[in-house]
Amino acid sequence: MRMFGQQDVSTFDTLDHDKHRQRREPWSPYFSKQSVTRLQPLLIQAIVDKLCLRLREYQIAGKPVVMTNAFSCVTCDIISEYSFPEGYNLLEKSDFDSSYYEAWIGLTRMCHVLKQFGWLYPLLDSIPMAITKWTSPEMYLILQGQRFLLKQATELSKQRGKPDYKETTSRPSMLKAFMDSPLLPESEKAPTRIKAEAQTAIGAGTLTTTHALKAGTYHILANPGVLSRLMTELEERIPDPNKPPTLKDLERMPYLQAVMYETLRITYGTAHRLQRIFPDRSLQYKDIAIPPGTPISMSQLHMHEDERYFPNPYKFDPGRWQVHKPPFKYLVPFGKGSRICIGRELAKAELLTIFANMFRRFGREMDLFETVRERDVDTVYDCFNCLPSWESNGVMVMFKQKE
């Protein structure tokens, strides 16, 4: 995965199957369904409450909200607070800070160049930061973020050798879990490698979920029938919006669940082909024998727009998930198999919690503002992540005052 400046460092960019399995194992307990359910009221809900307070400020001021920026702040705060000893706290800033999100978008736009020219990223990393800040502000923020993560990993590594390590370390975090994991040999606990895992968590936990949230918000507001059904369910199931439900309660709301699944379908997860290679045996597909070592892939975009399983795929239709046999077999926003996205339960919890809280509190007062689907929502570019037109200013929403 040279396309993101790393290769054989983090779990995400590990090609060898056995090494990938070893590196992936410490992630599993942290992102399990049980862990996310326990986390939801303590962390996700707390950060979503901050988001709603910020949206209220915009409502009072009568200013439109760039929801792309708002969602990037909340998703980045959730994954950083969950993963690191020190979170980013972007929602604490006076405005929805888009700089880190734009930096990641800048990196993902470079992914095809970096993939072909593997020497380019190390070269950029070797340039003095003062020069990088002047020549490429986005790359400067990426590299600055990496140094921030490396600093946290290095400090944790130093603390491990102290007798009072367990008492002096900060709150639990994914970084600490990696450092303490009995599943990893010491060679896998070097600060530079743990930093790479942290970078993967931030990038994956921010870009894809932000895309799903902003696109889902657009489609809900652009379809009055969908908005009406969702509001009816939320107002019935959440009588007091200041007493938010648990994740288990949200999962019992059938139309909210259907909206989440349709959002995942129409936003794909990623646009890029996720290749798989069977190194030691051939595969049989119908009458075709595929030799060992052959890269095989298909993009989620093509699967999610297959009219055989999703009639009228361009339409946002949560009702397709409320039939007797929903087409879950063909819904693959997180991939499949041993390399399925490990953060899928966290992503679904974020979608449910943010949609439920935001629409329950503001849904009757939300209107799209200067937003065009073809320019601001639909996937136009495959830069691994799904990107809209270069001319897009993001999905924008006006939060009206209650009458």
Residue that the structure tokens 């800048």 belong to: 106
E-strand stretches of 227-314? 283-285, 288-290
Least Cα distance to 363 among 221, 267, 262, 245 occurs for 221
Q: What is the pLDDT of residue 167?
A: 47
Q: What is the rounded CA–CA span in Å between residue 318 and residue 320?
A: 5
DSSP 276: B
Is the pTM of the predicted complex or chain greater than 0.95? Answer: no
Cβ neighbours for 62, distance < 8 A, ≥ 6 positions apart: 401
For residue 92, the Cα-to-chain-centroid distance in whole angstroms is: 20
Q: What is the pLDDT of residue 215?
A: 95
Q: What is the pLDDT of residue 398?
A: 96
Q: What is the rounded CA–CA span in Å between residue 309 and residue 383?
A: 26
- pLDDT per residue, tens digit, the chain (403 aa), is 555 656 667 777 777 788 888 888 888 888 889 989 988 998 999 999 999 999 999 999 999 999 999 999 999 999 988 887 777 889 988 788 887 788 778 777 777 777 777 777 777 778 888 887 787 777 777 777 778 888 888 887 887 766 655 544 445 677 888 888 888 888 888 888 888 888 888 888 888 999 999 999 999 999 999 999 999 999 999 999 999 999 999 999 999 999 999 999 999 888 787 778 888 889 888 899 999 989 888 888 888 999 999 999 999 999 999 998 999 999 998 888 888 888 899 999 999 999 999 999 999 999 999 999 999 999 888 878 888 888 998 999 999 987 6
DSSP 15: -
Calculate the alpha carbon distances from 69 to 106, 196, 396 in Å.
15, 24, 9
DSSP 400: P
Q: What is the rounded CA–CA span in Å between residue 44 and residue 14?
A: 29
Q: What is the rounded CA–CA span in Å between residue 14 and residue 24?
A: 10
Both tokens assigned to 65? 């909200």
Q: What is the pLDDT of residue 83?
A: 81
Residue that the structure tokens 């024998």 belong to: 289
Both tokens assigned to 127? 């340039």
Least Cα distance to 216 among 385, 309, 351, 346 occurs for 351
Q: What is the pLDDT of residue 285?
A: 87
Yes or no: say if 376 and 397 are a contact pair by the CB < 8 Å rule. Answer: no
Proportion of the chain in helix, strand, coil states, percent, rounded to 5: 60, 5, 35
Both tokens assigned to 19? 């090494």
